[in-house]
């Protein structure tokens, strides 16, 4: 199949300042902390059920919580030690969730994991075995949405997947974890892509990378000569290029129909970090117990990229990056456009955490809000071609039927509207309110 | 470290654009036009501009401070822009009290009555101007001839606008080719050495402002281009059909308030449509209505009326003309 590939998506988008402070800082392993808190809800779907109890000894890589249904994921211990308690903790979502607390003793890994540095490029497992491996070893989407990978790889029988799209866009300002991973683990990542291609029975994979990472593009282009069917695409820098629907549009010129899943276009999208995690799971038998996290901020003395054991508290990362700056006013997990503000520094890292950004107090507070002057900049910025001012206003006035007919549920919550609004209106806040209400209304309607 | 973390929803960063910056961007774009009007009409232009700006801002302040008892927002620059645009739509020798009355209507009636910035359906400066046109018809249609640096206020010789010359001539049975000899040359019209309201005479100054607005992304091309394009197309058809009684497109574009209207008045954020499809429809409406009023109406000029009429359709357009959503009626394959 021939796709009409362009350099960017046609409608909307913004150009926030990039601040990729850590793009030249190599990935370093973060020292194993004294204790970890491993949340049981690190993925989309049902929370996992603990299979260990207080006082149990666990090894690094051992299953400590099992998937609770199909759309769920296994969770493994990222350290060795003793389970001190199973309790609730406020995590990055801002809600109190169940978690397993482990006091670290040494670093004893389970035997099945291949910890050697050798690169294994021969893919021996069959497609079904690959999907089973991903399920067993707790692989979830590492781009931020944390959708369990085995669910995404199991294409419904009546649908056909014709292309694999790999998201190396990293369009959020500040974040560089995917960038560094592509540079330092390029070969492994490409093998991971081959594994995903095998699991999906596709011949072709396209890797989209924004042109502000020329070194990563060059590196992968060079490596990809040895891998059939993988093409590397340099894309124009524009936020939100890394949003799934926008990336599919850019690379295949196909639009995911409103309310449908990407598979309708024949494409399945995975993040580069997920491809690397799949490589480690399938070739090295290693569960998802660590990931690369960018720790950054203008006031940090040593921002960097760290390979972090899942469950390490955020403050262990901040310490490694030179300690908490005095002027810190906000700590964000994820990118500045879509990330979540953290309530405290003791919050554990989780599978979906691609970066931690420390904002100085002066940049932590929103500006004043003025009246809407109907300048239409939000309409021009919306990548989904919605009318954010209208959706926000109707939501504010509780006119939820109207927001539904104006397709509020198509909103991808990229935040371009709020970013661009000259009157500083909190458009996305109101749109989220409207969107969640409309989804609830639709669910109740379906029950009747 | 005061141990206090802000927890708010994303996005956590904001663009540098503010309402105030956009308004001052418009002011900057108007500077060439203001300079041109001072060059052609002298001190009168400065006095008129100052009077309109001061009265608009003062009236907004008084209404917010004493009538509405709300926080005063004159620093957002919107009253300043209204004042400037009102002034640029006036003859430079109009009595000051009329400017004050016009400003009261523009800000008091057309803007604050509807809830202030962002809520007014009609362009305030144009409402003020049309109110003055109806109330003081002779003062509003007697323009000083461009005389270079005139230092006095009402001492200039009054000169008719090219549009008025054509309108009057056609009525008297003269042909366009005869009338074209009576009006200034195209070069003079581009430069602005013609009679008319202060801000509408110099095409070149207005176009410099237009380029600045586009460069700064304060406006998009849709409205100005569709106003001018539709006017040009409509008048071309008539001109080709009968060049004896209809003037050509270049005359229509360069005379009167078309450029000022298309670039600065029709693009007013609050009173213009918000998606590109509606913007083009709205612009075409203004262009064609302008031509109709000029050619068959009783007034020689119709830009102000055309914009106000199309302003009335904006809520309808915003409600019924929708952009094509991403993922709507997809044809993949």
Predicted pLDDT at B333: 46
A428 vs B11: CB contact, 8 Å cut-off?
A: yes
CA proximity to B295, closest of B249, B262, B254: B249
In total, chain A counts a number of residues equal to 448
Report the DSSP beta bridge partners of residue A148: A140
B12 vs A332: CB contact, 8 Å cut-off?
A: yes
Distance CA B29, CA B20 (A): 14
Cis-peptide into B98, omega within 30 deg: no
CB contacts of A257 in chain B (<8 Å) are 327, 330
Distance CA B220, CA B155 (A): 40
Q: Is B3 on the interface with A (CB under 8 A)?
A: no
Alpha-carbon Rg for chain A, nearest whole angstrom, is: 21
A258 vs B117: CB contact, 8 Å cut-off?
A: no
Predicted pLDDT at B201: 83
B326 vs A11: CB contact, 8 Å cut-off?
A: yes
A89 min Cα distance to partner chain B (Å)? 17
CA B136 to chain centre: 20
CB contacts of B323 in chain A (<8 Å) are 379, 385-387
Residue B197: phi and psi, rounded to 5, are -65, 155
Q: Classify the phi-psi angles of B42: left when phi > 0, otherwise alpha if psi is within -120 to 50, otherwise beta.
A: left
Distance CA A201, CA A163 (A): 9
Q: Are B274 and A376 in contact (CB under 8 A)?
A: yes
- Residue of chain B whose alpha carbon sits nearest to that of A407: B325
Predicted pLDDT at A196: 96
Given the DSSP bridges, would you call strands A205-210 and A230-235 parallel, antiparallel or unpaired?
Answer: parallel
Predicted pLDDT at B150: 54
Helix axes B78-88, B43-62, angle to 10 degrees: 140
Q: Are A409 and A401 in contact (CB under 8 A)?
A: no
In the predicted model, residues of chain B with pLDDT beneath 50 are 1, 154, 333
A445: buried, middle or exposed (CB in 10 Å: 19+, 13-18, 0-12)?
exposed
Q: Is B16 on the interface with A (CB under 8 A)?
A: no
Give me the residue from B1, B9, B18 closest to A328, CB to CB.
B1
| Domains of chain A, earliest start first | 127-284 (3.40.50.11540), 377-447 (no CATH)
Give me the residue from A254, A341, A372 closest to B6, CB to CB.
A341
Predicted pLDDT at B1: 46
Report the DSSP beta bridge partners of residue A27: A305
A389 vs B1: CB contact, 8 Å cut-off?
A: no
CA proximity to A85, closest of A98, A95, A68: A98
Distance CA B154, CA B88 (A): 17
User: What's the pLDDT tens digit per position in B145-182?
Assistant: 776 555 555 455 566 788 888 888 888 888 888 888 77
B248: buried, middle or exposed (CB in 10 Å: 19+, 13-18, 0-12)?
middle
CB contacts of A343 in chain B (<8 Å) are 5, 7
Concatenated DSSP letters of B237-254: HHHHH-TTTS--HHHHHH
- Residue of chain A whose alpha carbon sits nearest to that of B267: A375
Q: Name, in order, each residue with C-beta under 8 angstroms of A263's C-beta and a sequence gap of 6 or more.
A: A155, A156, A159, A161
Q: Are A140 and A79 in contact (CB under 8 A)?
A: no
Predicted pLDDT at B157: 55
Q: Tens of pLDDT along chain A (448 residues)?
A: 678 888 999 999 999 999 999 999 999 999 999 999 999 999 999 999 999 999 999 999 999 999 988 899 999 999 999 999 999 999 988 899 999 999 999 999 999 999 998 999 999 999 999 999 999 999 999 987 899 999 999 998 899 999 999 999 999 999 999 999 999 999 999 999 999 999 999 999 999 999 999 999 999 999 999 999 999 999 999 999 999 999 999 999 999 999 899 999 999 999 999 999 999 999 999 999 999 999 999 999 999 999 999 999 999 999 999 999 999 999 999 999 999 999 999 999 999 999 999 999 999 989 889 999 999 999 999 999 999 999 999 999 999 999 999 999 999 999 999 999 999 999 999 999 999 999 999 999 988 7
Q: Is B319 on the interface with A (CB under 8 A)?
A: no
B145 min Cα distance to partner chain A (Å)? 37
Distance CA B289, CA A47 (A): 64
A374 vs B274: CB contact, 8 Å cut-off?
A: yes
Distance CA A162, CA A168 (A): 19
Strands (E), A46-183: 49-50, 57-58, 63-66, 75-76, 81-90, 96-104, 163-167
H-helix or E-strand spanning residue A28: strand A27-29
B30 min Cα distance to partner chain A (Å)? 19
Alpha-carbon Rg for chain B, nearest whole angstrom, is: 21
B88 min Cα distance to partner chain A (Å)? 22
CB neighbourhood size of A168 (10 A): 27
In total, chain B counts a number of residues equal to 333
CA proximity to A152, closest of A2, A9, A274, A281: A274
Predicted pLDDT at B191: 80
B109-B114-B116 Cα angle (round to 5): 90
Distance CA B129, CA A202 (A): 67
CB neighbourhood size of A236 (10 A): 15
Cis-peptide into A238, omega within 30 deg: no
Q: Is B135 on the interface with A (CB under 8 A)?
A: no
User: What's the pLDDT tens digit per position in A374-386?
Assistant: 999 999 999 999 9
A330 vs B8: CB contact, 8 Å cut-off?
A: yes
Q: Which strands sit side by side in the sheet containing A355-360, from one edge to the other?
A: A27-29, A304-309, A290-296, A355-360, A328-333, A340-341
What is the residue whose two structure tokens read 């957002």? Answer: B76
Q: Are A54 and A83 in contact (CB under 8 A)?
A: yes
Distance CA A363, CA A47 (A): 35
A384 min Cα distance to partner chain B (Å)? 5
Q: Are A322 and A311 in contact (CB under 8 A)?
A: no
User: What's the pLDDT tens digit per position in B5-63?
Assistant: 899 999 999 999 999 999 999 999 999 999 999 888 888 899 999 999 999 999 999 99
A190 min Cα distance to partner chain B (Å)? 28
Among A361, A390, A423, most B C-beta atoms within 10 A, so best to mutate, is A423
Give me the residue from A326, A337, A384 closest to B10, CB to CB.
A337
B328 min Cα distance to partner chain A (Å)? 6
Distance CA A111, CA A350 (A): 24
Distance CA B302, CA B295 (A): 9
Q: Is B17 on the interface with A (CB under 8 A)?
A: yes
Q: Name, in order, each residue with C-beta under 8 angstroms of A249's C-beta and a sequence gap of 6 or more.
A: A9, A10, A255, B326
Q: Give the number of beta-carbon pairs within 8 Å between A and B.
A: 165
Distance CA A381, CA B215 (A): 17
Concatenated DSSP letters of B18-63: -HHHHHHHHHHHHHHHHHHHHHHHTHHHHHHHHHHHHHHHHHHHHI
- Residue of chain B whose alpha carbon sits nearest to that of A388: B274
CB contacts of A387 in chain B (<8 Å) are 274-275, 322-323
A16 vs B15: CB contact, 8 Å cut-off?
A: yes
| Residues in B 111-130 with any Cβ partner in A closer than 8 A | 116-119
Among A385, A405, A411, A413, most B C-beta atoms within 10 A, so best to mutate, is A385
B29 min Cα distance to partner chain A (Å)? 17
Predicted pLDDT at B152: 54
Structure tokens at B310: 């199309």
Distance CA A388, CA A419 (A): 12
Go through A240-265 and write b for each residue having 16 or more CB atoms within 10 A of its CB, e for each that does not.
bbbbbbbbbbbbbebbbbbeeebbbb
A387 vs B326: CB contact, 8 Å cut-off?
A: no
Distance CA B290, CA A50 (A): 74
Distance CA A15, CA A336 (A): 13
A341 min Cα distance to partner chain B (Å)? 5
Residue A230: phi and psi, rounded to 5, are -100, 120
Reported ipTM: the value is 0.89
CB contacts of B17 in chain A (<8 Å) are 377, 420-422
B11 vs A376: CB contact, 8 Å cut-off?
A: no
pTM of the model: 0.91
């Amino acid at each position: 199949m021939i796709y009409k590939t362009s350099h960017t998506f046609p409608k909307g988008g913004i150009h926030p300042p990039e601040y990729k402070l850590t793009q030249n800082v190599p990935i370093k392993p973060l020292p194993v902390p004294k204790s970890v808190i491993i949340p049981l809800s690190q993925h989309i779907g049902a929370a996992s059920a603990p299979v260990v109890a207080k006082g149990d000894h666990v090894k690094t890589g051992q299953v400590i919580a099992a998937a609770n249904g199909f759309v769920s994921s296994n969770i493994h211990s990222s350290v060795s030690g003793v389970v001190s308690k199973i309790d609730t903790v406020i995590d990055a979502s801002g809600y109190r969730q169940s978690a397993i607390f482990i006091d670290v003793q040494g670093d004893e890994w389970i035997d099945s994991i291949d910890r050697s540095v050798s690169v294994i490029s021969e893919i021996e497992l069959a497609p079904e075995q690959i999907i089973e491996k991903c399920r067993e070893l707790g692989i979830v989407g590492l781009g931020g949405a944390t959708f369990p990978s085995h669910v995404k790889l199991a294409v419904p029988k009546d649908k056909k997947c014709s292309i694999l799209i790999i998201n190396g866009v990293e369009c959020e300002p500040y974040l560089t974890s995917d960038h560094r991973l592509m540079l330092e683990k390029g070969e492994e990542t490409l093998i991971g892509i081959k594994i995903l291609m095998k699991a999906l029975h596709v011949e072709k994979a396209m890797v989209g990378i924004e042109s502000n990472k020329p070194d990563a593009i060059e590196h992968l282009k060079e490596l990809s000569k040895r891998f059939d069917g993988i093409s590397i695409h340099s894309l124009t820098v524009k936020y939100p290029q890394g949003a799934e629907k926008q990336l599919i549009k850019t690379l295949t010129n196909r639009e995911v129909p409103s309310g449908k899943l990407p598979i309708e276009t024949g494409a399945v999208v995975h993040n580069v970090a997920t491809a690397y995690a799949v490589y480690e799971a399938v070739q090295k038998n290693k569960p998802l117990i660590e990931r690369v996290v960018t720790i950054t901020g203008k006031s940090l003395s040593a921002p960097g990229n760290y390979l972090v054991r899942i469950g390490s508290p955020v403050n262990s990362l901040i310490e490694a990056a030179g300690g908490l700056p005095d002027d810190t006013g906000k700590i964000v997990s994820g990118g500045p456009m879509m990330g979540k503000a953290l309530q405290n520094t003791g919050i554990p890292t989780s599978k979906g955490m691609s970066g931690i950004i420390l904002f100085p107090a002066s940049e932590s507070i929103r500006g004043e809000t003025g009246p809407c002057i109907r300048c239409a900049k939000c309409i021009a910025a919306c990548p989904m071609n919605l009318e954010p001012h209208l959706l926000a206003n109707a939501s504010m006035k509780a006119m939820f039927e109207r927001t539904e007919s104006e397709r509020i549920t198509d909103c991808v919550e990229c935040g371009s509207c709020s970013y661009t609004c000259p009157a500083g209106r909190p458009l996305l806040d109101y749109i989220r309110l409207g969107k969640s209400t409309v989804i609830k209304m639709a669910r109740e309607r379906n029950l009747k | 470290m005061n141990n206090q973390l802000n927890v708010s929803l994303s996005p956590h960063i904001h663009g540098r654009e503010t309402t105030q910056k956009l308004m001052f961007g418009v002011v900057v774009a108007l500077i060439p036009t203001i300079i041109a009007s001072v060059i052609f009409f002298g001190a009168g232009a400065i006095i008129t501009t100052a009077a309109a700006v001061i009265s608009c801002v003062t009236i907004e302040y008084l209404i917010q401070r004493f009538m509405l008892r709300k926080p005063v927002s004159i620093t957002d620059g919107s009253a300043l822009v209204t004042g400037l645009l009102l002034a640029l739509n006036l003859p430079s020798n109009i009595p000051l009290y009329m400017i004050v009355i016009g400003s009261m209507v523009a800000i008091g009636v057309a803007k604050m009555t509807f809830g202030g910035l962002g809520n007014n359906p009609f362009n305030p400066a144009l409402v003020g101007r049309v109110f003055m046109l109806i109330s003081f018809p002779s003062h509003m249609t007697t323009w000083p001839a461009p005389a270079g640096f005139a230092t006095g206020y009402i001492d200039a010789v009054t000169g008719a606008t090219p549009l008025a010359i054509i309108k009057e001539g056609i009525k008297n049975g003269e042909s366009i080719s005869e009338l074209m000899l009576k009006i200034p040359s195209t070069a003079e019209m581009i430069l602005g050495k013609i009679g008319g309201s202060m801000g509408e005479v110099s095409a070149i100054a207005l176009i410099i402002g237009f380029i600045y607005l586009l460069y700064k992304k304060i406006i998009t091309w849709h409205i100005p281009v569709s106003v001018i394009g539709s006017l040009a197309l409509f008048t071309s058809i008539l001109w080709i059909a009968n060049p004896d009684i209809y003037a050509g497109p270049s005359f229509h574009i360069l005379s009167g308030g078309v450029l000022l209207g298309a670039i600065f008045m029709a693009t007013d954020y609050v009173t213009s449509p918000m998606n590109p499809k509606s913007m083009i429809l709205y612009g075409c409406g203004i262009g064609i209505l302008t031509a109709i009023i000029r050619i068959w109406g009783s007034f020689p000029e119709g830009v102000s009326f055309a914009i106000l009429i199309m302003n009335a359709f904006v809520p309808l357009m915003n409600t019924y003309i929708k952009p094509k959503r991403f993922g709507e009626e997809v044809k993949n394959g």
